[in-house]
Amino acid sequence: MFASTPPRAGDARPGPILGIDPGLSRCGYGAVERSGATFRATSAGVIRTDPSWPLPERLARLAAEFESLFDDIAPSAVVVERVLFQVNARTAISVGQASGLALAAAARRGLEVVQYSPNEVKLAVTGDGAADKAGVQFMVTKLLRLAVAPDPPDAADALALAICHAWRERTTQAVDAHDRANEPRPGVGLSARIDAALAKQGRR
């Protein structure tokens, strides 16, 4: 788990973004804080359940771990990888079960809940929607300025989910700010706004 650096005085931030790479045997998690264009990992790891346990016990253990994780991290948003069709139906079912528990736990707390597909995350983090796990690990390590790559890969995937949402969030805020700065002034008619726009282009 990464140590969290206390924020500077007057540098209050909302809770970190928590990424969850769902799985029943191994469930990766990673929390990322954003300050402007800089990202910082505050926590990462893997929740494990014993395959020899009965399924209800494994699900109960995972649900309890999610509650504890949310208590410890106090996230502002939870990002869960969207479950897509897999060749191995058994794996798909267990991933879906873990995903459902995470989504429900976040919703009960009234947290923002977001889902991205693996390709969306890979594209956001590496620039290649078909990147392999090694490529994701490398870019997560670079973007978060980590001394070593997150291991196992489930933790890197979870951090990548959080980074993906942080990028989207930052872009949305920038677009909103641009739109607000360019809102037409009250009382200025459409023809006047068109004239002003054309004047800027040197056409009037």
From the candidates 33, 57, 81, 179, give the one annotated as an active-site residue. 81
Residue of 103, 122, 134, 194 lying closest to 163 (CA atoms)? 122
Could you give the 3-state DSSP secondary structure of residue 11? coil
Helices (H), 109-152: 118-126, 133-143
What single letter denotes the amino acid at residue 183? E
Residue with tokens 């990992």: 41
21 is catalytic: yes
From the candidates 21, 50, 112, 151, give the one annotated as an active-site residue. 21
Q: How far is CA 8 from CA 2, 14, 161, 170, 186, in A?
A: 18, 14, 26, 21, 40
From the candidates 71, 154, 169, 179, give the one annotated as an active-site residue. 154
Residue of 203, 155, 124 lying closest to 47 (CA atoms)? 155
> For residue 148, what are the contacts with CB-CB under 8 A and spacing of at least 6?
141
> What's the CA gap between 200 and 61, in Å, rounded?
63
Contact 144, 40 (CB under 8 A): yes
What single letter denotes the amino acid at residue 109? R
> What's the CA gap between 131 and 123, in Å, rounded?
8
Residues belonging to the active site: 21, 81, 154
